[in-house]
Amino acid sequence: MRLGKILTGLVLAVSLLGAGQMANASPESDAIATVQRFATAMQTADGAAFDDLFSRGNDVTAIENGVINTDRAKIVATLSKEVGERKGLKFELIDPRAARSGNAVWVVFGYQVSMDAGERKMELTGAGTAVTRKESGKYRIAHLQMGHKPAARKAAAATARDGLVLVVGATGRSGPAMLAALKAEGYTKIRALVRDVDKAKEKLGSEIEFVQADVRDMASLDKAMTGVKYVVSALGSNTFNDPTNSPEFVDYEGVRNLALAAKKANVEQFVQVSSLGISRAKEHPLNRFGRVMEWKAKGEEALRTSGVPYTLVRAGGLGDTAGGEATVVALQGDNLITGQIPRADVATVCVKALGDPASRGKTLEVVSGGKGGKVDWATFFSGLKSDA
């Protein structure tokens, strides 16, 4: 494994800008200092420093070409070996910023790498994230992702604006945000799946197409899927008193039925909004309400095994604040316990996934990062590990 491959193969799963760093000593500034030491070790070929920089825990991860490496010793040894072989390497950290989440501190940063040693030349500009935690009085890196901006990603995404998009859950609390995100991205063929067309038109207007269907009725779903290229679903049960609308029938069987209908209709991609904490469904506080997290987990698995190209977006606590005011942070592994994100930002993630091959077959968790940041959507999905 060559350093050039590490630097260009490790791809960004989290955006460049995060929360503003604090001027005085703080967990944020200490975590940033750790990342700065990492940059120094890269530039000075100080291989011994990597052992002290990475967490001593057994859950250290790094992503290379979308594949997670969880072998701490291998990560440290590879970095130590390769920087020693690269003479004249310059590694400049750009605008590192940090934000706390529970016991961890995320640091998002840009970087420039250059090397001019005879015939061996390198010049890269990239971005990354390091999730740090305090161990023995200092912050160490538990999760590292880096990567340059891939070429031609935006051109591929632009073609995704063609085709009919079916929106499920359009009249729910996240529905209007989903419709707005589709329109902002340039989609003009939008169909909303609703139970009552007249009520839906009163709420959403008449600029889009409506189809009457019920996720519990397969025949109606077959009709709704006619001519559909993409499905974006914010489907979720909102009542626990009506047995016919329980999480079992909506979050599980509803998603399963949609996936089966989408497969039959040769839908190109199905994006489903889910929730943080699915992998700990039985212990999740919300699971007390109709076992909703367990049924969501079953719904996720039904989509994964349906044969339809999919993206599962596990959102943090949903809010109604304006989108685009904070960086969207994406991670995998379902290790976050808490986290918030506006519905508008979740909708944007879902819409940006459409037509992007890098988003397919993947499950990700999304929460808000720091204020004022911008997301590099061209690389947002490319560093994430596939489920398979």
| Look-up of token digits 């160490």 | 140
Q: Give the DSSP letter string of 292-305.
A: HHHHHHHHHHHHHT
CA end-to-end distance (rounded Å), the chain: 23
Measured CA to CA, the distance from residue 142 to residue 59 in angstroms comes to: 7
Q: Is the pTM of this model over 0.85?
A: no
Same fold flag, 3-148 and 153-371: no
The half-sphere exposure of 349 on its side-chain side, counting CA atoms within 13 A, is 38
pLDDT recorded at residue 265? 96
Provide Rg for the chain, Cα atoms.
Answer: 22
CA distances from 153 to 60, 134, 287, 356, 376 (A): 29, 37, 39, 8, 11
Measured CA to CA, the distance from residue 124 to residue 8 in angstroms comes to: 8
Measured CA to CA, the distance from residue 14 to residue 328 in angstroms comes to: 7
Q: Are 195 and 212 contacting, i.e. CB atoms less than 8 angstroms apart?
A: yes
In what helix (H) or strand (E) does residue 75 lie, and over which residues does it extend? Answer: helix 72-85
DSSP SS3 for 326? strand
Q: Give the DSSP letter string of 221-278.
A: HHHHTTTEEEEEE------SS-GGGSHIIIIIHHHHHHHHHHHHTT-SEEEEEEETTG
Bridge partners of 230, per DSSP, are 165, 269
Measured CA to CA, the distance from residue 94 to residue 295 in angstroms comes to: 43
CATH topology of domain 3-148: Nuclear Transport Factor 2; Chain: A, (3.10.450)
Measured CA to CA, the distance from residue 298 to residue 39 in angstroms comes to: 42
CATH topology of domain 153-371: Rossmann fold (3.40.50)
| Look-up of token digits 């069987």 | 253
Buried-state track 98-129, b at ≥16 Cβ within 10 A, e below 16: bbebeebbbbbbbbebebeeeeeebebebbbb
DSSP 8-class letter at 93: E
pLDDT recorded at residue 115? 72
Q: Are 231 and 262 contacting, i.e. CB atoms less than 8 angstroms apart?
A: yes
User: How far, rounded to the nearest angstrom, does the alpha carbon of residue 3 sit from its chain's CA centroid?
Assistant: 26
pLDDT recorded at residue 224? 96
pLDDT recorded at residue 231? 97
pLDDT recorded at residue 10? 37
Two tokens at 180? 């707005």
pLDDT recorded at residue 155? 42
pLDDT tens string, the chain, 388 residues long: the values are 444 444 333 333 333 333 333 345 789 999 999 999 988 888 887 778 888 888 888 778 876 544 566 788 888 888 877 777 766 778 888 888 888 877 888 888 888 877 765 545 667 777 778 899 999 889 999 888 876 544 334 444 444 478 999 999 999 888 899 999 999 898 989 999 999 999 999 988 888 999 999 998 999 999 999 999 999 999 887 665 666 677 787 788 989 999 999 999 999 999 999 888 777 766 665 656 666 778 888 889 999 999 999 999 988 777 777 777 777 888 888 776 667 888 889 999 999 999 999 999 999 988 887 766 677 888 889 888 898 7
Two tokens at 251? 């979050």
List the domain boundaries for the chain.
3-148, 153-371
pLDDT recorded at residue 243? 65
CA distances from 96 to 32, 148, 163 (A): 7, 16, 39
